[in-house]
Amino acid sequence: MSAEALFTDQPARLVLVDDHELAREGLRDMLTDVVDVEIVGEAQDGKEALELCLCVQPDLVLMDLRMPRMDGLEATRAIKRKHPQTSVLVMTMHENPDYLLEALRAGAAGYILKDASQDDVISAIRRALSGESPLAPELAARLLRRLALEAARGAQAREGQQETFSSRERRAQLVQPLTPRELEVLKLVARGKTNRQIAEDFVVSVGTVKNHVEHIIDKLNVSDRTQAVVLALKLGIISFPNQ
């Protein structure tokens, strides 16, 4: 659905993916009375999830990581290739930075702990759908910093070589380049700052910052702010700021 759909009467379309029926039932119970979301399908493994997403085209997928046949990381990659505008929140038992980094690489917007409260689950879903990052700012900054270091090492390894076609092609798709202010906003997003914190830095309204973030997401053709930063780092549009 993305941010603009939150202002319509249509609820966000959710898909639940977990190989345990009790886990899906628990999420179902949590979300039954939430008027702005609607569960439109369930899957018990990654292959079923991909097939289901092709049919129902959800706005957001709640994705378990450890499943048979196709795990959550592989399913997230496949879904994001087919439906880049669909947001994915992975569900995990632990905040393992290495595993969460792999989830971001795969295309996830963030994560939900499996023992999270109902309020935390609903908040994470709404933040992802509105373009906000469900990641804790400190963790987001740490994970994105690691991605940036990897991107920098890759750039150094390619130094003196011709830029890859795929990278040139992705840049060419940016028909509307980011404005200087959008670049400034994106750099602050990369540091894990919220819309409110960015608004305070620029002495503007939160709504103005939200509009900038929405424009960035649209121009980069991604589903959320986390993946906007991931793509921008990969393409060299921004680099991670010095500490």
Last residue of a domain, one of 89, 119, 135: 135
Residues 116 and 147 in one domain: no
Number of domains forming the structure of the chain: 2
Which range marks the domain in which residue 152 is found? 140-235
Asked whether the predicted pLDDT for residue 153 surpasses 70, the reply is no
pLDDT value of position 92 = 87
Last residue of a domain, one of 135, 151, 180: 135
User: φ, ψ for residue 76 (rounded to 5)?
Assistant: -60, -45
Has residue 242 been placed in a domain? no
pLDDT one-digit tens code per residue, 202-229: 999 999 999 999 999 989 888 888 888 8
Query: Whose structure tokens read 């669909």?
Result: 86
Last residue of a domain, one of 119, 135, 151: 135
Of the candidates 150, 215, 227, the residue with the CA atom closest to the CA atom of residue 190: 227
Has residue 26 been placed in a domain? yes
Has residue 243 been placed in a domain? no
Residues 119 and 7 in one domain: yes
Residues 144 and 192 in one domain: yes
Q: Distance between CA atoms of 223 and 225, rounded to whole angstroms?
A: 7
Residues 168 and 216 in one domain: yes
Written as one letter, the residue type at 203 is V
Asked whether the predicted pLDDT for residue 170 surpasses 50, the reply is yes
Written as one letter, the residue type at 24 is R
DSSP-based three-state secondary structure for 62: strand
Burial 120-154 (b: 16+ CB within 10 A, else e): ebbebbbbbbbbbbbbeeebbbebbbebbeebeee
For range 133-140, the mean pLDDT: 72
pLDDT value of position 2 = 46
Whether the full predicted model's pTM is greater than 0.85, yes or no, is no
Q: Which secondary structure element, helix H or strand E, spans residue 40, and what is its range?
A: strand 37-43
- Select the more confidently predicted residue: 142 or 5: 142
Q: What is the CATH number of the domain that holds 7?
A: 3.40.50.2300
With cut-offs at 50, 70 and 90, classify the pLDDT of residue 169: low
pLDDT one-digit tens code per residue, 183-194: 999 999 888 788
pLDDT value of position 146 = 79
Asked whether the predicted pLDDT for residue 174 surpasses 60, the reply is no
